Amino acid sequence: AEPHDYYPPLENMLFGMGNPLLDISAVVDKDFLDKFGLKPNDQILAEDRHKALFEEIVKRNKVEYHAGGSTQNSVKIAQWMLQKPHKVATFFGCIGKDRFGEILKKKAEEAHVDAHYYEQNEEPTGTCAACITGDNRSLVANLAAANCYKKEKHLDLDSNWELVKKAKVYYIAGFFLTVSPESILKVARHASDKNKIFCMNLSAPFISQFFKEPLMEVMPYVDILFGNETEAATFAKELGFETDDIAEIAKKTQNLPKENTKRQRVVVFTQGKDDTVATVGDRVTMFPVLDIDQNDIVDTNGAGDAFVGGFLSALVQEHALEECIRAGHYAANVIIRRVGCTFPEKPDYH
């Protein structure tokens, strides 16, 4: 598309599916991290030994609750960047019939996201403890209800599948591979068959390490793959790329087998304050991020999700890759100045 072409986004044009979580975020100290065996900057799934962490973090003096979940954050930010029309973004995921679930529904509505949750009462709504130290964040996700998403109970229902079919761009974080790979594959195959755009995220080192099989089953359908430098390095190691050069990793990832040959795969790796690396056609290009004073960084939690959200907002308008990355950098720059994945009323982006 020429730069002057403008494609106004339509309702339900962007589809996301993932783990809807309520973020419980607090500033902690190194002792707290050590007590629960956490790395300062990581994402993990909660185990039994983390039970006490959730009880302890809510007692911290400055605890904040925010709607979270990686994919849900990204589609919300895409919607925020677009502003109008409302409900460009659709979101599917599973919650419990409880207070936290009600909060997530209310927050999705306030963000003008068309959220259709599968609600069940076996498990409570999932939570994610965000343990903040300086500009690091260690995330511990207790999926609970989020883990109960069922393809046949929700995705396959005609009224829900109609919403999937309406979309032109699909985004699912790698985190959802631990929950319902069959749901991901159904959506990914639909996108591929209809020559629509399917995007995925490496999400966390543990996905490439322990969920490599479902990840590689979806990979042939992935048109755009996101990840950060740590995730890229882990992915490369798991696939035996034998290189730690991020541009080289991007290139090798781009060249992995692909189902829909009409679209060349795009690989986008962010590296915090360092340049974002992306495959542009057959080349690998570096895109510098926006400058920010270290003192203005409040909390990097949600920066990756925000980058994807900004990127998707430009993608649904059929903007060029460079423009999508610029929008991603803008959104991430806004989010790191605030606690959690939260944003001001309107973007100031042109």
For 69-118, write each residue's pLDDT tens digit: 999 999 999 999 999 999 999 999 999 999 999 999 999 999 999 999 99
SS3 146: helix
Q: Is residue 343 part of a domain?
A: no
CA distances from 176 to 164, 200, 300, 305 (A): 16, 10, 22, 14
Cβ atoms of residues 278 and 323 within 8 Å: no
| CA dist., res. 172 & res. 198, Å (int) | 8
Q: Is residue 51 part of a domain?
A: no
Cβ atoms of residues 115 and 101 within 8 Å: no
Work out the average pLDDT over 290-301: 83
User: Has 156 been annotated as catalytic?
Assistant: no
pLDDT in tens, 21-60: 999 999 999 999 999 999 999 899 999 999 999 999 988 8
Positive or negative CA dihedral for 74, 268, 289, 14? Answer: negative
At residue 69, the pLDDT reads 95
The CA-based dihedral angle spanning residues 104, 109, 111, 113, taken in that order and rounded to the nearest 10 degrees: 100
Q: Is residue 45 part of a domain?
A: no
Q: Any alpha helices (H) in 83-197, and if so which ranges?
A: 99-110, 158-166, 181-193
Instruction: Assign 3 a pLDDT band (cuts: 50, 70, 90).
Output: low
At residue 301, the pLDDT reads 73
Q: Which domain holds residue 173?
A: 14-20+68-124+143-336
SS3 110: helix
Cβ atoms of residues 155 and 167 within 8 Å: no
Tokens 């909660």 identify what position?
Answer: 46
pLDDT in tens, 229-243: 999 999 999 999 999
pLDDT at 300 over 80: no
pLDDT in tens, 165-211: 999 999 999 999 999 999 999 999 999 999 999 999 999 999 999 99
CATH of the domain at 230: 3.40.1190.20
Catalytic residue (choose from 114, 193, 305, 348): 305
At residue 215, the pLDDT reads 98
pLDDT in tens, 11-26: 999 999 999 999 999 9
Cβ atoms of residues 23 and 340 within 8 Å: yes
At residue 259, the pLDDT reads 98
SS3 330: helix
Q: Is residue 191 part of a domain?
A: yes
Q: Which among 310, 307, 298 has a CA at the least distance from the CA of 340?
A: 298
Q: Is residue 8 part of a domain?
A: no
Q: Is residue 25 part of a domain?
A: no
Please provide the average confidence, as pLDDT, over all residues in the chain. Answer: 94
pTM of the full structure? 0.93
Instruction: Assign 294 a pLDDT band (cuts: 50, 70, 90).
Output: confident
| Edge-first strand listing for the sheet containing 274-280 | 114-120, 89-96, 14-17, 169-173, 197-201, 224-228, 266-271, 274-280, 283-287
At residue 220, the pLDDT reads 98
Which residues touch 305 (CB under 8 Å, ≥6 apart)? 70, 73, 74, 77, 335, 341
Q: Is residue 341 part of a domain?
A: no
At residue 340, the pLDDT reads 66
Query: Phi then psi for 33, rounded to 5 degrees?
Result: -60, -45
pLDDT in tens, 238-280: 999 999 999 999 999 999 999 999 999 999 999 999 999 999 9
At residue 208, the pLDDT reads 98
Cβ atoms of residues 231 and 349 within 8 Å: no
Q: Which among 178, 224, 216, 218 has a CA at the least distance from the CA of 197?
A: 224
Identity of residue 322: E
pLDDT in tens, 123-159: 999 999 999 998 788 999 999 999 999 999 999 999 9
pLDDT in tens, 334-345: 999 887 677 878
Number of domains the chain is built from:
1
Q: Is residue 257 part of a domain?
A: yes
At residue 96, the pLDDT reads 98
At residue 329, the pLDDT reads 97
At residue 6, the pLDDT reads 66
